[in-house]
Chain A
Amino acid sequence: MGWFKRLKEGINTRRKKVIPDGVWYMCPDCRTAITSKEHAQNYYVCLTEDCLYHTRIGSAEYFDIIFDGRRTYLFDNLVSKDFLNFKDLKTYEDRLVAAKEKTNLNDAITVARGKVNRLDLVVAAMDFKFIGGSMGSVVGEKIALSIDYCLEHKVPFLLISKSGGARMMESAFSLMQMAKTASRLTRLAKAKIPYFSMMTDPTTGGVTASYAMLGDINFAEPKALIGFAGPRVIKETIKKDLPAGFQTSEFLLDHGFLDFIVHRKDLKQKIGDLLHLFRPAKEKESGEETEKVEVPVKVEANKEEKVIKKEKT
């Protein structure tokens, strides 16, 4: 709380103070500033209670939040290539090089295996920073390989979508990734291995219209943009302004396309609960084990916070 309150609106401060990057974080939604440290500790969620803006985070952050600790990266050896010699204002080749440099990632999706509250899980998480999280051949192949891996090892699969849609620079190849991933998912369903689809801000286009909507459980982070056509395209088509809250997680929940919305701080617990509930019958037999699993949940959650703190300091 400040001592003084500004009475007049619209007073312009002449000189902007330069603050080194990374010390403060300002919520783009409610404009509240908090320290980056606090922000990270709060799972990159705005602290203001009625805002709760979930900042876009990458695959590494999700892995930190979800997994108990150790994780093994899978299929990291696949990289995109400009096989169509695609050129718009820039070449696809240049875009790839720039994206790799900027993100230090090989493509728009990263896959890892680890444990969540001691239960095995394979997580594939998309990175929006890599060419808008667009889905090309590598994204499709990595998802297909993850499904094969889950089938072989009988491990549940969680896919965190965060994407603008298909990667135009791979033309029909990227379109076919929709069919490739969706058809491969039928095998997972047939083998009765659970597939959880989590949608984060934003999930649109071909990604929504394929694997993102095909989870045994579909859920999302609060206030995420989720849809097929982008809001701009729809606005141009209907030539009217879009209603408030259109294409948000809450809108989708309301229209019956999501099972639930989960706050990032409850994410690990929720996934842990799902994994627990989806376990095959024989593992559930002893009542003792159920108790056992419940206990470490809190311990892990505490440790989790520490982990994030450490990383950011």
Chain B
Amino acid sequence: MVFLDFERPIEELFQQLQDLIALNEKSDVDMSEQITALENQIKATRKELYSNLSGWQKVQLSRHPERPYTLYYIETMCKKFVELHGDRCYGDDKAIVGGFGSLDGQTVMFIGHQKGVNTKMRQYRNFGMANPEGYRKALRLMKLAERFNKPVVCLIDTPGAFPGLEAEERGQAEAIARNLFEMAQLNVPIICVVIGEGASGGALGIGVGDRIFMMENTWYSVISPESCSSILWRSWDYKEQAAEALKLTPQHMLDFKLIDGIIKEPVGGAHSNAEEMAKILKRHIKKELTELSIIDCEQRIEQRIEKFGRMGEYETIAIAEQKTEKEPLS
């Protein structure tokens, strides 16, 4: 088990519990009562700790090394899953995966960022940072789903689109922009769920849909707290403050009406009970798909565009003199 720095109280209790169990096995004295008490204490502490997490703590949890990733969810939720590869232009990006899966008989196109589970795989998956071919693969799969009238589910978990030399050469910006444009007018329902990190354009590149959700211990922002700190504070040391200032938690995002809902995680985070998390996610997706499928396609697209159209906060002022028709005449 990996404990984060703010989980130290639990870690200590957990250690005590381990010792107690070991002791119980060796000695004749029955200590099951104490063990249960300690287990309850861990549960209570955990619940208390998790009920009031700061922005930065959510960021830490979203990056927890044991947190489940896209392929785990798909494979746990679907009886059948066929992964599809390649953008048909350049290559196959390993940081974005996708394919048709069967969700209790309903075929769904799943697309998502994929991180690696160990050091070697993390490198192979490029830490979940996609190149342009990843976004183009995603778009190809969405178009495929559209042709066969299958809904699309996108699982978002990326620290950002990859900022590399080749990524720029092959048009990272164009690939993301194209996805935003095409996803806005895709004929089939799209559900997006932030399952981990939701950083910037790299996340939004597969993040335009009819319904946007975030899991409880995730974040969504225009920039990662670290980069924000380095740009605005000119130092890497203000990531905690940046995380607070960016108001990137699911609750903030819901209050701002930038997302449609929060998906509850088991106490202790998705990684503490991945199987349960997959069940919750599956239930959620199924419910939303049923609701979305009854809406007329044209209407659904209109609603999607309007939904994003409403996002933005500003003031309107009265203009004293109409600043019109100024011609710097000769």
Contact = CB atoms under 8 A, between A and B. Distances in A.
Interface of A: 64, 69-73, 76-81, 83-84, 86-89, 106, 137-138, 140-141, 144, 166-168, 170-180, 182-187, 190, 205-206, 208-214, 227-229, 233-234, 237-238, 240, 242-243, 246-247, 255-257, 303, 306-307, 310-311
Contact of B207 (A179, A184, A187, A211): A179
A71 B326 contact: yes
Nearest to A243: B165
Nearest to B208: A179
Contact of A214 (B181, B221, B327): B181
B99 interface: no
A79 B165 CA distance: 37
Nearest to A74: B324
B2 interface: no
A183 B183 CA distance: 8
B318 interface: yes
A73 B201 contact: no
Interface of B: 161-165, 167-174, 176-178, 180-181, 184-185, 200-201, 204-205, 207-208, 220-223, 228, 231-234, 238, 241-242, 245-248, 253, 256, 258, 304-305, 308-309, 311-319, 323-330
Given A168-B223, A186-B305, A73 B168 contact: no
10 contacts: A73-B323, A76-B323, A86-B245, A88-B242, A179-B308, A183-B184, A183-B309, A213-B177, A234-B163, A306-B330
A140 B312 contact: yes
A86 B314 CA distance: 14
A229 B163 contact: yes
A311 B180 contact: no
Contact of B319 (A76, A86, A238): A76
A208 B173 contact: yes
Nearest to B325: A70
A175 B160 CA distance: 12
A180 B312 contact: yes
Contact of A213 (B167, B178, B305): B178
A180 B178 contact: no
A106 B305 CA distance: 26
A73 B327 CA distance: 12
A183 B208 contact: yes
B180 A227 contact: no
A170 B228 CA distance: 12
B207 A257 contact: no
Given A88-B233, A176-B258, A206-B222, A228 B176 contact: yes
A179 B163 contact: no
A214 B182 CA distance: 11
A89 B207 contact: no
Contacts of A303: 330
A168 B168 contact: no
A137 B327 contact: no
Contact of B178 (A168, A184, A214): A214
Nearest to A183: B184
Given A88-B245, A183-B181, A168 B222 contact: yes
B201 A228 contact: yes
Contact of B233 (A89, A180, A237): A89
Contacts of A80: 314-315
A176 B184 CA distance: 13
Q: Which of B169, B177, B317, B327 has the most chain A CB atoms closer than 10 A to its own CB?
A: B177
A212 B178 CA distance: 11
A125 to B, nearest CB: 14
List 7 tightest A-B contacts by C-beta distance, closest first.
Answer: A229-B163, A183-B184, A137-B312, A182-B180, A88-B232, A208-B173, A228-B173
Q: Which of A70, A72, A173 has the most chain B CB atoms closer than 10 A to its own CB?
A: A173
A176 B176 CA distance: 13
A141 B311 CA distance: 9
